[in-house]
Amino acid sequence: MFLARRLVLAHFWVAFAGFLLAILLGEWQMYVRSPLHGWVNNPEHYYRSVTAHGTVMAYVLPTLVAMGFGYSICELALKRPLIGLRWAWAGFGLVVAGTVIAAATVAVGRASVLYTFYPPMIASAWYYIGVVLVVVGSWIWVALMSINLRAWRKANPGATVPLAMFGNVTGAYLWAWTSVGAAVEVLVLILPAALGLRDVIDAGLARVLFSWTLHAIVYFWLMPAYIAFYSIVPRAIGGRLYSDTMGRVAFVLFLVFSMPIGLHHTFADPQVGAGFKFVHAAMTAMVSVPTLLTVFTIVASVEIAGRLRGGKGAFGWVKALPWDNPMMLAVTFAFVMLGFGGAGGLINMSYQLNETIHNTQWVTGHFHLIFGGAIVIMYFMIAYELWPQLTGCATLPKGLVKAQLWLWFVGMMVLSMPWHLVGLLGMPRRMAYYDYTHPALQPQAWTVTASAIGGLILVVSAVLFVYVLATARRTSDSPAPFTFSAPAHAGERTPALLNTFGLWVGMMIALTIVNYGFPIVQLASLPGTAVPAISVGGP
Amino acid sequence: MERDRPYAWSNAGFRWSVIALVVLTVGSFLVGFVVLPAVHKDFTVAGLWESICRAAGVPARWDAGATAKGKGSTDVVVVPALARTGGGDAIGRGATIAVQQCSMCHGAQGASEADAPNLAGQYPEVVHKQMQDYKRGDRGGTFMQTIARNLSDRDIADIATYYNSLPKARTAPARYSDTTAPALVRVGDPLRNIAPCIACHGGTDHKLGAPWLEGMPGAYLVAQLRDFRSGARHNDSHAQMRNMTRAMTDGEIADVAEFYARRDKTD
Amino acid sequence: MTTAATSDGHDVAAASERRWAIIVMVIIALLVAMMIFTGLKWAAMPPSRVETIDPRTLHIDGEFVESNLGTTVAADGRVVTRIVAQQYSFEPQCIVVPAEMPVTFRATSTDVVHGFVVGTTNANTMLVPGFVATFTTTFKRTGEHLMPCHEYCGTGHEAMWAKVQVIPARDFLARAGRGERLSCVSR
């Protein structure tokens, strides 16, 4: 790497430190909610912890990982120094400042509104200011990704953008547009109420604006993992990328369809009409296409690795795969969890089936499995892969890395599978207290105990992850040059449409206007839907 | 060639992508706005255009036959505006009324020696609401009803401002971390539908319209909780206090009242 | 690799990708078709009847005044249950509904966002202040369900739940005299 080494390290360390703290909070929550522990006797502490855990895991960890990974790709894939290093540090500073401000406000109990902060509940203005700073810091990253790509294009006219960078910029543009919804909600609706400038707020409009961000943000979280699937996994396991073009197709489909589907988070809401709910449901079905395409392409790429190692026959290549390689474990675990999590997601998106599980613990189990499981396990691998570049360390201890991955996979399955089940049994979300001696709750008790055990395994895995990174031994040798996956078929020509973003960004914006325009304008112009704001956590 | 003009209609990839997206969008809109609502009588009752509007989320009346039975339990709208107090003039006027009509029971400084509630430092919207409820007969008590009926709305607002300006009997509210508080005050009892008292009456969270309870006469609190429990007092909109007290035992009522009434705690 | 081998391999790859893409589109189309089919056949639809209301005056007059809450049989024979959610209770706290008859729920909130799910049924909705949530469902079996608030509404959220008693339709209709509002709240 050239200039961005310390920048990326800073991003990753803050991300993983926050991750470790937040996971401890998460396990505490699971434990005190379970039959294993008497009631903690302080509901406010519980909701405070849920707010902190959610805010860090949803807004801080994935943003910093995406930013750090993005800067790395700029240098490693484009093979040139990062432009705008000072701005990048400024962006990082904003993210850290925002995190500290928001976290401190939550820690003193002035912002127990959960990371979805649904108004009319209004927390201390500092919490929202903190979140805004985090988002603004990430916008600086978006701008830098665009600037760096443009500079590279000028220096390499007509050349094909390396796949990793293509995915990276896709994620950046997606994030820029998707963050607009929550930004408008916070700046226009919530902060005036939090600062005392208004004492009413339109709760229905706020929820619709938040839903704009709420689903597409998970694709922003997912992009680093998918970039790793395409551009790192095949190389790491000694294979080839089956199709570079399919990778680009997947990325642009995410760009187009992540956005205009957020109303599936408001299926049960009374302020959105049935027509828009169905349209969003149908388009949510479309956003599963890039994942299905990715599964095919990556499994095919993995198969190439198997056959290159001498595997023969319809399934013999599976045995021949480098199972000793941590990346092999990670991608397998990720796909297993993606399979279960994706199936759960299909139920959530099904217009009518969603009614059975809305706001039950099924939803919580689902997103822990798919984000905490499939995506975060690839965040680990991204860190492991980049660590020699970032710190000049020797190869990381393979045994520990594999143990850490196994613990994460097992812990996540043990945590989330019973969680899905207890959601089907009707357990509601975000409750500080359950009495498992009550006959209606008694069948649910074992699931929470199981989840608490799974969570404990995850804590061990998280500690091991940070330990491996922290104790990586420096060597005096400079690291081997970082390479991305090579395509299986050299000379594959990339269509121009899959080398630029104009059409896809245009579609993303157009679909957003078509799918969200009327609901937002309509709610904003309805008279009398502003309701009294309710302050939480003291004056 | 393709590479030179990606955004031209002649580019097959461009053409088919745009067509596919338009077809998908138009198709899902047709299904969502026309086909699916067609099986719901209450969508189509006013014609196709109205059905499309309703599917789009334009508000409509969905229960044409809905008629209310009876009136509400209270007529006061508790909104943040009620919590704003008037200025010095209002305090003066309120003081005059208070001296003449309120202080013999509620105390010269709003801290009563009898079992009437303390009014010193009480939230203005609370005084406002209770007086209006007395005035309209929504809260029982012939004596208070008579007094309230003789006061104008401005008088009530002035009294609220005046009493709010007086120092509270006790200023330190109970918090979730206060382990001396009875369980019901601090954490409620979720299995009996009892939320923590301090979730609405406390120092961390305060629900607009919930009175400041610290230092209230114990006998008054016991009487009110029992009246809510039996339904004799019912000016709490939508039974929010009646639902809380329904499962409380006499012993718990006494404990909660004693906790709030204690006067020896330093601030 | 020779150019011929490369382009052969490429063609094979492209063909298998195309096959997979077609399979994927068929799967997606099937899922969407299922949604449309169930939407048409069983008229199943999430609460999507947009209706505004002023949460500040719910208790004063209008449909959601306290004495009008509970379950009633409307003039046209429909069973309608009206519920109000607030920090921190549902009113009425014990709700009676008949089995095997369509029940229309109409509910709203007076303050923050609440929501409820009835036991393990699909009666599930958000309650957003300023809007009325309406949906219709049928309870197949008699019995008692827990109806917790499932959206975080403040530090009293864990105490906020109601009970739904599903009683035989005959018993319900016998109790439901003309215009009476039923609930099973003990007093």
Q: Do C155 and B205 touch (CB under 8 A)?
A: yes
pLDDT of residue B136: 92
Find the CB nearest B31 among C36, C52, C60.
C36
Place of tokens 């705690």: B265
Q: Do A532 and B52 touch (CB under 8 A)?
A: no
Find the CB nearest A426 among C3, C39, C117.
C117
Confidence category of residue C177, pLDDT binned at 50, 70, 90: confident
Q: What is the ipTM of this complex?
A: 0.90
How much is the average pLDDT of B34-40?
88
From chain B residues 149-168, the ones with a CB under 8 A of any chain A CB are none
Q: Which residues of B105-124 are buried (b: 16+ CB within 10 A; e: fewer)?
A: bbbeebbbeeebbbbbbbbb
**DSSP bridge pairs for A531:** A201
- Provide, as residue numbers in chain A, all residues whose Cβ is less than 8 Å from the Cβ of B81: 199
The domain B80-165 having CATH identifier 1.10.760.10: the answer here is yes
pLDDT tens profile A256-286: 999 889 998 998 999 999 999 999 999 999 9
Interface test with B, best of A497, A514, A516 (most B CBs within 10 A): A497
Q: Do C150 and A359 touch (CB under 8 A)?
A: yes
pLDDT of residue A142: 97
Nearest-neighbour CA in chain C from B35: distance (Å): 8
Confidence category of residue B206, pLDDT binned at 50, 70, 90: confident
Residue B104 has pLDDT above 80, yes or no: yes
pLDDT of residue B266: 45
Candidates A54, A200, A183, A178; CA nearest to A113 is A54
Helices C3-41 and A274-308 pack at an angle, to 10 degrees, of: 150
Distance CA C108, CA A245 (A): 50
pLDDT of residue C187: 59
Q: Which helix (H) or strand (E) holds A531?
A: strand A530-532
End-to-end CA separation in angstroms for chain A: 49
User: Considering only A206-210, A448-452, A495-499, which range has the smallest mean pLDDT?
Assistant: A495-499
Residue A446 has pLDDT above 70, yes or no: yes
B38 → chain C, closest CA residue: C40
* C62 contact B CB<8A: yes
Candidates A276, C128, C84, C50; CA nearest to B42 is C50
B133 → chain C, closest CA residue: C60
Q: Do A435 and B187 touch (CB under 8 A)?
A: no
Place of tokens 């760096």: A148
Residue B242 has pLDDT above 70, yes or no: yes
Distance CA A92, CA A70 (A): 13
pLDDT tens profile A172-196: 999 999 999 999 999 999 999 999 8
Q: Do C46 and A267 touch (CB under 8 A)?
A: yes
How much is the average pLDDT of B253-263?
89
Q: Do C117 and A360 touch (CB under 8 A)?
A: yes
How much is the average pLDDT of B233-248?
93
C64 → chain B, closest CA residue: B68
Q: Do C63 and B68 touch (CB under 8 A)?
A: yes
Distance (Å) of CA A485 to CA A228, A239, A390, C13, C187? 10, 8, 19, 17, 72
* C35 contact A CB<8A: yes
- Provide, as residue numbers in chain A, all residues whose Cβ is less than 8 Å from the Cβ of B13: 495, 497-498
Lookup: tokens for A318: 């599976």
Residue B65 has pLDDT above 90, yes or no: no
pLDDT tens profile A130-178: 999 999 999 999 999 999 999 999 999 989 999 999 999 999 999 999 9
Q: Give, as one character, the DSSP assignment of residue B116.
A: S
User: Considering only A147-156, A223-232, A491-500, which range has the smallest mean pLDDT?
Assistant: A491-500
Catalytic residues of A: 215, 219, 366-368, 429-430
User: Considering only A210-214, A425-429, B177-181, which range has the smallest mean pLDDT?
Assistant: B177-181
Instruction: Report the 10 Å Cβ neighbour count for A78.
Output: 22
**DSSP bridge pairs for C98:** C167
The CA-CA-CA angle for residues B5, B10, B12, to 5°, reads: 95
Distance CA A44, CA B199 (A): 9
Residue B2 has pLDDT above 50, yes or no: no
pLDDT of residue A5: 92
**DSSP bridge pairs for C127:** C114
Computed on alpha carbons and rounded to an integer, the radius of gyration of chain C in Å comes to 24
Q: Do A526 and C52 touch (CB under 8 A)?
A: yes
Between C161 and A351, residue with greater pLDDT: C161
Percent of chain A having pLDDT more than 70?
Answer: 100
Distance (Å) of CA B143 to CA A414, B14, B114? 65, 82, 15
- Provide, as residue numbers in chain B, all residues whose Cβ is less than 8 Å from the Cβ of C187: 230-231, 246
Q: What's the mean pLDDT when you consider all of chain A?
A: 92
Pairing of strands A530-532, A200-202: antiparallel
B205 → chain C, closest CA residue: C155
* A538 contact C CB<8A: no
Q: Do C91 and B40 touch (CB under 8 A)?
A: no
Q: Do B238 and C159 touch (CB under 8 A)?
A: no
Find the CB nearest A109 among B80, B191, B204.
B204
Touching partners of C (3+ C-beta pairs < 8 Å): A, B
Find the CB nearest B7 among A109, A498, A502.
A502
Q: What's the mean pLDDT when you consider all of chain B?
A: 87
Q: Do C13 and A489 touch (CB under 8 A)?
A: yes
Distance CA B123, CA C119 (A): 39
pLDDT tens profile C29-69: 998 898 888 888 877 677 788 999 999 989 988 899 998 89
Determine contact, residues A526/A274, Cβ cutoff 8 Å: no
Q: Do B25 and A274 touch (CB under 8 A)?
A: no
Q: Do A279 and B14 touch (CB under 8 A)?
A: no
Q: Do B43 and A199 touch (CB under 8 A)?
A: no
Nearest-neighbour CA in chain C from B164: distance (Å): 24
Residue C5 has pLDDT above 60, yes or no: no
Candidates A244, A128, A141; CA nearest to A193 is A128
Find the CB nearest B204 among A256, A511, A538.
A538
C56 → chain B, closest CA residue: B77
Residue C98 has pLDDT above 80, yes or no: yes
A279 → chain B, closest CA residue: B28
CA dihedral A222, A223, A225, A226 (to 10 degrees): 110
Q: Do A243 and C117 touch (CB under 8 A)?
A: no
Distance CA A297, CA C181 (A): 61
Amino acid sitting at position C36: I
Interface test with C, best of A289, A358, A525 (most C CBs within 10 A): A358
- Provide, as residue numbers in chain B, all residues whose Cβ is less than 8 Å from the Cβ of A511: 21, 25
Find the CB nearest B238 among C32, C110, C158.
C110
The CA-CA-CA angle for residues C178, C181, C182, to 5°, reads: 110
Distance CA A479, CA A476 (A): 9
Interface test with C, best of A359, A429, A447 (most C CBs within 10 A): A359
Taking the mean position of all CA atoms in its chain, how far away is CA C134? 8
Q: What's the mean pLDDT when you consider all of chain C?
A: 88
Touching partners of A (3+ C-beta pairs < 8 Å): B, C
Spatial CB neighbours of A167, under 8 Å, sequence gap ≥ 6? A223, A226, A227, A230, A231, A247, A251
Nearest-neighbour CA in chain B from C46: distance (Å): 12
The CA-CA-CA angle for residues A252, A176, A275, to 5°, reads: 70
End-to-end CA separation in angstroms for chain B: 82
Between B45 and A208, residue with greater pLDDT: A208
* C68 contact B CB<8A: yes
End-to-end CA separation in angstroms for chain C: 87
Between A37 and A255, residue with greater pLDDT: A255
Which phi and psi angles does C59 have, rounded to 5°? Answer: -85, -5
Q: What share of chain A is helix, strand, coil (3-state, %, to 5)?
A: 75, 5, 25
Determine contact, residues A281/A260, Cβ cutoff 8 Å: no
Find the CB nearest C50 among B40, B59, B73.
B59
Between B126 and A527, residue with greater pLDDT: B126
DSSP one-letter string for C121-150: SS-EEEE-TTB-EEEEEE--S-EEEEEEB-
Lookup: tokens for A9: 């390290």
* B77 contact A CB<8A: no
Q: Do C155 and B54 touch (CB under 8 A)?
A: no
Nearest-neighbour CA in chain B from A346: distance (Å): 17
Distance CA C136, CA C133 (A): 10
pLDDT of residue C127: 95
pLDDT of residue A527: 84
* C20 contact A CB<8A: yes
Find the CB nearest B193 among C61, C86, C89.
C89
Domain B183-261: which CATH class? Answer: mainly alpha
Between C70 and B62, residue with greater pLDDT: C70
Residue B69 has pLDDT above 80, yes or no: no
Amino acid sitting at position C139: F
Nearest-neighbour CA in chain A from B100: distance (Å): 34
Nearest-neighbour CA in chain C from B76: distance (Å): 8
* A283 contact C CB<8A: no
pLDDT of residue C178: 64
